[in-house]
Amino acid sequence: VTTDSVLLGAWAGIADAGRILDIGTGTGLLALMAAQRSEAQIVTIEPDRNSFMQAGINFAASPWYERLTLLHTTLQDFRPDADMLFDAIITNPPYFIDSLLNPDRGKARARHTVSLSHTELAGAADRLLTPSGSLHLVLPVNEANRFIEEAQRYGLHCTVRLKVRTTPSTPPARMLMTLTRQAVSVCEESELVIEKGGRHIYSDEYVSLTKDFYLKF
């Protein structure tokens, strides 16, 4: 369970979606949060076998299992029927582009774009979203800006973004984004600070956003 995914799952505007795709579900966190926040039918894809099996266990134990479909496949091989388009896509994708690969193959696939490039992700979103659909994702700030530029080639435009700081004194480390086919003159931007009063002393904004998903809140 990563802070990135919890923030994205709580923030993404998916409440009114009828069908949601979770790309690279891992252990199923984003899909489960989406199920808690909506009445949507949710399709999840996960190429790693161990993560796929764990997600299946987690889905079966949840109260929303009847709305969750889990597929063991890559995004590149995911070819649903032509009439199966999604109102929302949510993903915490690989993000390291030019850095040294992690020697752990599983971590390398999850964290580096060797398994899923940003071009492939943007192209798949263009292929799989309804005309009014939206793509929601989280990336480090530099990679996020590069993704926004890449997505424009596929007619996807950033409409809302949230920059996340760990503390008030640190620069933004992550960016949460919503992209749609609707071009806007200015992408709506805001900021959130996770810890304002020291280690594990969380800001009111962070608690308000995530309190429905953390037992400690």
What residue ranges in 83-173 does DSSP mark as E strands?
Answer: 86-91, 129-140, 157-165
pLDDT for res 111: 46
Q: How confident is the model at residue 103 (pLDDT cuts 50, 70, 90)?
A: low
At residue 30, does pLDDT exceed 60?
A: yes
What pLDDT is stored for residue 78 in this prediction? 96
What was the pLDDT predicted at 217?
A: 83
The answer to whether residue 115 scores a pLDDT higher than 80 is no
Tell whether the model's pLDDT for residue 105 goes beyond 70. Answer: no
Predicted confidence (pLDDT) per residue in 168-205, tens digit: 999 999 999 999 999 999 999 999 999 997 788 999 99
75: helix, strand or coil: coil
Burial 64-82 (b: 16+ CB within 10 A, else e): beebbebeeebbeebeeee
Summarised one tens digit per residue, pLDDT across range 46-73 is 999 999 999 999 999 999 999 999 999 9
Judge whether 177 and 160 are in contact, CB under 8 Å.
Answer: yes
If you average pLDDT over residues 159-176, what whole number do you get? 96
What is the percent of the chain with per-residue pLDDT over 70, rounded to a whole number? 91
Residue 110: per-residue pLDDT: 43
Q: What is the pLDDT of residue 140?
A: 95
Report how far residue 197's alpha carbon sits from residue 89's, in angstroms, rounded to the nearest whole number: 34
| ∠ Cα 205 199 3 (to 5°) | 55
**pLDDT score, position 199:** 82
Confidence of residue 102 (pLDDT cuts 50, 70, 90): very low
What pTM, to 2 d.p., does this model score?
A: 0.90
Extract the tokens encoding 176. Answer: 């949460």
